[in-house]
Amino acid sequence: MRRQSAVICLDLGGSFIKLGVMNAQDQLILLDQHKIPATSWDDFTALVRRMIAQHHLQFTASSAVAISTAGIVAPETGEIFASNIPAFHQHSLANELGALLQRQVIVHNDADCFTLAEALAGAGKGHKVVFGAILGSGVGGGLVADGRIITGQNGLTGEWGHGPITLTEVEIGGVVRRLPRKACPCGQKGCLDSYGGARGLENLHQTLHDRTASSVEIIECWQQQDALAQQTVQAWLQIVGQPLAYTINITGASRVAVGGGLASVAPLIAALDEVVQGYVLRRTAHRLVVPGEFAHHGGMMGAALLALQNTHSL
């Protein structure tokens, strides 16, 4: 039976809160955006209520709220662990915000939501197992199988950016270079996050060449055949490509959809795919690693699709 109610979509990031709607035609429309009140629960909930009220004509009384959020969502309690956003850190958004809004609220991690959007409607459509590789300021991930998000222990699945897995040696132009295992804010040492995302690329450039440059500058110089930038990207491809291939071997993913800022650099993702194809147990005829189709609002779209899977009111 065709649903009649729209889905209210919220994306909660470290800096902004975005409001959107997925209408009855499954179109996602961005409605509003504000700087998130990062420290006050009362200010945060007041802003959410105000944003929804201002756009109430887009919804119905039965519209559920689908939230894509930074941080970890505990599967048993719904408690959010997002230490960089104290406003809702250790709050159960589904229960507490649901009571305030008098609506059904569904909450999930943003990387997982992105992966679900890609698996159901984007670059991973038609694939049984899809891995979402987030290469933004840091490294994150999500896993979808048979159209469902795989949620593991403590809400953690697909976190390939953390754990002591970073290479300590890379080969650049036939010369082996040693790399220090850097301390990670997660508390471990040697995480891929230290060298893998945009900030990691900058760290790697500084480590290899003792030069400071932004990830945008490094990528631009790489595309212009600059020698130092080429060395940095060559090392980055090894550092990121090996654990990504390992992740594919473990999960059985036949498509990796890349999100985050680095996903917008098509030649970089194509180069990453070529490296990964060389490391996986069986090379595929099709591309394994591709840019995601929902780089900007994949979290909100995935949250809305999750709401459609889990709510009985639509």
Report residue 145 as tokens: 């199988």
CB contact at 8 A, 69 and 108: yes
> 7-113+296-310 and 125-291: same fold?
yes
> In 3D, which of 71, 61, 161 has the Cα closest to residue 107?
71
Residue numbers in the chain where pLDDT is lower than 50: 1-2, 312-314
Whole-angstrom Cα distance, residue 258 to residue 247?
Answer: 14
What CATH number has the domain spanning 125-291? 3.30.420.40
Match 């147990």 to its residue by tokens.
281
DSSP calls for 208-237: HHS----HHHHHHHHHTT-HHHHHHHHHHH
Please state, as a whole number, how many other Cβ atoms lie within 10 Å of the Cβ of residue 111.
Answer: 29
pLDDT of residue 79: 92
> Could you tell me which of 110, 45, 107 has the C-alpha nearest to residue 78?
107
Residue 154 confidence (pLDDT): 80
Instruction: Please give the single-letter amino acid code of residue 127.
Output: H
Answer whether 218's CB lies under 8 Å from 225's CB: no
- pLDDT for 3: 52
Residue (of 63, 169, 165, 150) closest to 111 by Cα position: 150
List pLDDT tens digits, range 42-60.
999 999 999 999 999 999 9
Domain ranges of the chain: 7-113+296-310, 125-291
The C-alpha atoms of residue 257 and residue 263 are separated, in whole angstroms, by 9
Sign of CA pseudo-dihedral 62, 67, 73, 75: positive
Half-sphere exposure of 257 (CA within 13 A, CB side): 28
The pLDDT of residue 311: 62
Residue 2: per-residue pLDDT: 43
Q: What is the pLDDT of residue 4?
A: 55
Architecture of domain 7-113+296-310: 2-Layer Sandwich (3.30)
Give the separation between CA 144 and CA 3, rounded to whole angstroms. 24
| Predicted pLDDT at 40 | 95
292 in Cβ contact with 118 (< 8 Å): yes
Alpha-helical segments (H) within the chain: 41-54, 93-101, 110-121, 193-196, 198-209, 215-223, 227-251, 266-279, 298-310
pLDDT at 103: 94
The pLDDT tens digits for 9-37 are 999 988 899 999 998 888 899 999 999 99
